Chains A and B, each alone.
Chain A
Amino acid sequence: MGRKIIPIGPYHPLQDEPEFFKLHVDGETVVDIDIELGYNHRLVEKIAESKNFDQVAFMVERICGICSTSHPFAYVNAIDDLLGVKAPERALYIRTAIGELERIHSHLLWLGLAGHFLGYNTVWMWAWRYREPVLDIFERVAGNRQNYGMMKPGGVRRDLYEEDFPWIKKTLRDLIPKIDMFKGAVMDDPVIRARTEGVGVLTKEDCREYCVVGPTARASGVNIDIRRDDPYAAYDKVEWKVCTHEGGDVFGKAVVRILELYESINIVIQCLDKMPKGPIDSGIKDIPPGEGIGRHEAPRGEVVHYIMADGGNSPARHKIRAPSFMNVASNKKAVIGETISDATIILAAVDPCYCCTERMTVVDYKTGKKMMDGQDLIRLSREKTERLRNR
């Protein structure tokens, strides 16, 4: 008998994370948007000051449930920068492999959600189904499907075992035909193209003004990627390329993310092939006074961690900047002037870490009256796809 899988759902935290978008509309057109944050503010930066350096890695892992290793990755980079020493070679490869595996499952998750918002529920189901094997890899190497607890100042907490490598590589290679299928579905489907091309365009100038990062910037032809620009871990020891698109629209963002899936698979396989034997932890004892800045290219863009140490065993100041902090603000530019049926997919296109369309309300520009909520908007979006399909 093979393994049995018990499905748990259908509730998923992604759609219930709190963020409040208020769309102001004039007829069908969005004329303004108010973005309100802070419904789930935990003041993690303050809590970090009461934890020791080892515990902080666990704590920042709990900031995000999707890209849970992004924050610890940036945090250990900050500690490396503070100390001026790198972790052992093997640990650097393991960090890279974990970071890229996470990008694969995070991008697949976004792809599924984008399909769901457009009314392609098959895409949603399939994308999330093919995400499962990636989570199985995490379960095998870390014991957890999320919150892997792999990052540690000075190294990694767990080793990867050589006997797992053939299975991991096969699982990832099996994913490639599936991604080909998604690529074909997005590139060739006239309805998806009609719904996404030229929709929610961010120009290069908008990207500069709002300082957006990650796939949101790369889809507008802004060629930035921290993994290449400020190399850390083993990113300068493996071969890969930065994926960009010139469109700046929702379609461009989808294309960039799909192409990045191939690169990530490529990076993980190279890491497993090139990984040297040796220690995985440099055994840091004390953190001297000083400051360090760590950056990591998370699935959504650059994460910045700033650590100030005063010689004690916890950070004197820990500043965290997530990519969505920059990207979500750019919605103001992308969504204004578009129709409300496109608003859902535009707001979701930056892959906001706390997208909550449930809490989105539409207010009539003239009367100020509430017209519809998030569910109605998803319905509108699906109806538009249906109309295009039947044409």
Chain B
Amino acid sequence: MRRESIIENIKVRSGKDLLGFIDKSKNRIYFTINKKILPQIARYLFNEEKARFSTASGVDTRKTIEILYHFSVDEIGLFISLRVILEKPDIEIDSILPLFKCAEWIEMEMYEMLGVNFKGHENPKHLLLKDDWPKGNYPLRRDA
């Protein structure tokens, strides 16, 4: 089964960097992984499984910032969410823009809304907020 092989492959590739796995329902699975292997797993899903990058969502949980990267394997209707936890104040993660173009806007959005620093993002400017928005002021942060 394709679904099981994807789960198995992510588990094997993550090794001890896999921090959690939730098999929520037939079409929804969540992995919590170490941030340093995110590009590797994202590359696997996008290039080898031909998954479509759907979006990413950042959440400020006060002590940490969680980012979920959502991938859709349309052939089997599977929605895979990769959860990465960034400890404050070191809110930095490798950009996945070098892997696929469609991550550009969502990374810009998370940068301006949550102050996540994407290493390797070539064009880190405002997407939705105006250009003279006060520096260091992030609308979706909860610690302000």
Contact = CB atoms under 8 A, between A and B. Distances in A.
7 contacts: A43-B139, A81-B25, A208-B50, A230-B79, A302-B54, A304-B70, A329-B101
Contact of B102 (A46, A210, A316): A210
A304 B57 CA distance: 10
B8 to A, nearest CB: 21
B53 interface: yes
A306 B50 CA distance: 22
Interface in A183-241: 208-211, 213, 224, 229-231
B1 interface: no
Interface string B64-86: 00001010101111010100000
Interface residues of B, number: 35
A38 B126 contact: yes
A317 B52 contact: no
B105 A325 contact: yes
Contacts of B24: 81
A291 B81 CA distance: 11
A-side interface mostly = mixed
Contact of A325 (B30, B52, B55, B130): B55
A306 B68 contact: yes
Given A38-B128, A230-B27, A295-B79, 12 more contacts: A38-B126, A38-B129, A208-B50, A209-B101, A209-B102, A229-B74, A230-B77, A302-B54, A308-B59, A317-B57, A321-B57, A329-B104
B140 interface: yes
Contacts of B75: 229
A interface, size bucket? 20 to 34
Given A43-B139, A230-B79, A321 B59 contact: no
Contacts of A316: 59
A37 interface: yes
Interface of A: 37-38, 41, 43, 45-46, 81, 84, 208-211, 213, 224, 229-231, 291, 293, 295, 302, 304, 306, 308, 316-317, 319, 321, 325-326, 329
A132 to B, nearest CB: 35
Interface in B85-144: 100-102, 104-106, 126-130, 139-140
